[in-house]
Homo-oligomer: A and B are copies of this chain.
Amino acid sequence: MALLEKLNEVLRTQALLGNTVEILTWDQEVCMPRAGVPHRAAIVGTIVGLLHKKLIEEVLPLLREAQESAELSEEQKHSVRILLEEAEPAEKVPPKLVQAFSEASSLAQAAWVEAREKSDFSVFAPHLEKLVQLGREKAAALTYAEEPYEALLRLYERSVTPAEVETLFAEVRPFLIETIRACEGSILEGLQGPALSLSAPQQRDLVETVLRQLGYDLRRGRIDISAHPFCSGFNPDDVRITIRIFEEDLTMALGSAMHEMGHALYEQGLAREPIGWPITMAASLSIHESQSRFWENHVGLSLPFWEYLYEQIFPKYNPSWLQAYSPLTLARRVNKIQPHLIRIQSDEVSYHLHILLRFELERALINGDLSISDLPAAWNEKVHTYLGLTVPNDAQGVLQDIHWSMGNFGYFPTYSLGSFYAAQLAAALTEQYPDWESNLRSGNAQIPLDWMRRHIHAHGKMYDSKTLCEKATGSSLSAKHFIQYIRQKVGLIYEGLSVPLPT
């Protein structure tokens, strides 16, 4: 068999087995009876083991051979380089370390659940200690230029260094703190009124109507309910999301739905073939997050979108809301800026201070500049400095997120990068199509969807996040678009309040 044919087959099998794991995971979260956990873990473990074996024994040698082969075009070789970059860490980290990491994080997750329930960091501390130590070993195995944390960050976002993330955050930090302070002193009017409460089936129905209207193709997708909303794209023709529903407040379901739909539109917009090649894959976690944040925030929190809901959607579900609110007062409710102890309940501005403090803390942990025993105090101090809040207990502080218990050091920054990319993409879109946002008033999101399809989705993983951003927007990543976006929104929602630009 010719090299290219062999490579196609091996990459295809690898991708399809990877999709299988995703389907098994979706089923586990949405359908599987709880008692099925051990058996499901055995299945997933078996397939993951197969994938790893095939990666080392079949994929990597073929990719290396392909790199040198005259049989491949330049573009194919470019793809091969991308795949190699992705695959090589699996080879660098010794199986024993992978095993140790997996066991430690299993135990750590159980301990984290208990620690959070009891709000007792000491239950989790020895496990985190172990994971940090293994994280450092992993970083050493992966190699790095400047600092251990760099190696882990690059697993989630290949195109940036910790120093670059630091620079981005340095640009936004004073602005974020300043904005929170300014909004605190400002009064939002028209927020009093009935809760946006709606039965679960009606919320489901409403969400489906809105998402379908915006462009989520439900012939190639579905919407389910789960405790933690997520999106699974097995293939552009089968992209599913889950949403969270609180009957007393529609905005929770709507927000999670818009966010997951952003992920889903991306997955539905990827190329179908050739299966297993970078063109069929999402560019990165950050770019994925840029899509979810664009739809959640730039679309879903915009005034025109709430005008659409007010005029076309809410009359069918609860006409009494129309008397109690105007589109503007509804938009104010969902855009209110008010720091919260919990990251996932935070507004768009405080959110990034949450990420910043996690980035600083995990970087210090991995680089050996902070001990586990000092972590809770360091957390609480940063929350106070950045958000002006006092942490009452570890459950609402250092124990609130699952990420570290899974050993995912370096993941948090991708959330903020996603928002910064989203704002930069939105700015470029607005420059080319100034009307796109006002079109949302009629529920028409064709322009932004087409634009994202063309500038982001169509390129798959052929460029790294940085390059993709440059190609799409004409300039390299900067936080200034995000700052601009927040300033504009604050001016609208807080009626003319002007937050100073950072110096």
Residues of chain B contacted by A220 (CB below 8 angstroms):
33, 35-36
Proximity string of chain A (204-230) to chain B, C-beta cutoff 8 Å, 1 when within and 0 when not: 000000000000001111100000000
| A47 contacts the other chain (CB 8 A) | yes
Most buried by B among A19, A34, A36, A42: A36
The reply to whether A237 and B23 contact each other, CB–CB distance below 8 Å, is no
The reply to whether B238 and A40 contact each other, CB–CB distance below 8 Å, is yes
**Chain B residue with Cβ nearest A235:** B39
The reply to whether A36 and B234 contact each other, CB–CB distance below 8 Å, is yes
| A32 contacts the other chain (CB 8 A) | yes
Number of identical monomers bound together in the oligomeric complex:
2
Proximity string of chain A (409-434) to chain B, C-beta cutoff 8 Å, 1 when within and 0 when not: 00000000000000000000000000
Residues 73-104 (chain A) with a chain B CB within 8 angstroms: none
| A24 contacts the other chain (CB 8 A) | yes
What is the bound-complex CA distance between A32 and B275, given in angstroms? 19
* Pick from B31, B50, B218, B237: contact of A38, CB under 8 Å: B237
Residues of chain B contacted by A240 (CB below 8 angstroms):
33
What is the bound-complex CA distance between A347 and B224, given in angstroms? 38
What is the bound-complex CA distance between A272 and B36, given in angstroms? 12
The reply to whether A31 and B33 contact each other, CB–CB distance below 8 Å, is no
Residues of chain B contacted by A488 (CB below 8 angstroms):
none
| A248 contacts the other chain (CB 8 A) | no
**Chain B residue with Cβ nearest A34:** B219
| A313 contacts the other chain (CB 8 A) | no
Residues of chain B contacted by A219 (CB below 8 angstroms):
33-35
Given A17-B46, A42-B16, decide whether A31 and B31 contact each other with a Cβ distance below 8 A.
yes
| A20 contacts the other chain (CB 8 A) | yes
| A338 contacts the other chain (CB 8 A) | no
CB distance from A7 to the nearest CB of B (A): 16
* Pick from B34, B35, B47, B238: contact of A20, CB under 8 Å: B47
Proximity string of chain A (31-73) to chain B, C-beta cutoff 8 Å, 1 when within and 0 when not: 1111110111011001100100000000000000000000000
The reply to whether B234 and A39 contact each other, CB–CB distance below 8 Å, is yes
Residues 227-269 (chain A) with a chain B CB within 8 angstroms: 234-235, 237-238, 240
| A184 contacts the other chain (CB 8 A) | no
| A13 contacts the other chain (CB 8 A) | yes
The reply to whether A43 and B27 contact each other, CB–CB distance below 8 Å, is no
Residues of chain B contacted by A238 (CB below 8 angstroms):
32-33, 35-36, 39-40
What is the bound-complex CA distance between A219 and B43, given in angstroms? 20
**Chain B residue with Cβ nearest A272:** B39
The reply to whether B16 and A46 contact each other, CB–CB distance below 8 Å, is yes
Residues of chain B contacted by A16 (CB below 8 angstroms):
42-43, 46
**Chain B residue with Cβ nearest A13:** B46
The reply to whether A36 and B235 contact each other, CB–CB distance below 8 Å, is yes
Given A36-B234, A237-B39, decide whether A20 and B24 contact each other with a Cβ distance below 8 A.
yes
The reply to whether B20 and A237 contact each other, CB–CB distance below 8 Å, is no
17 contacts between A and B (CB under 8 A): A16-B42, A17-B46, A19-B39, A20-B43, A23-B23, A30-B31, A33-B218, A33-B219, A33-B220, A33-B222, A35-B219, A35-B237, A36-B235, A36-B237, A38-B237, A39-B235, A39-B272
Not counting A20-B47, A27-B27, A35-B220, a sample of 13 additional A-B residue pairs whose C-beta atoms are within 8 angstroms of each other reads A12-B42, A16-B42, A19-B43, A20-B24, A20-B43, A23-B43, A31-B222, A32-B238, A33-B218, A33-B240, A35-B238, A36-B234, A42-B275
Q: Which 5 A-B pairs have the closest CB atoms?
A: A36-B238, A39-B235, A35-B237, A35-B220, A16-B46
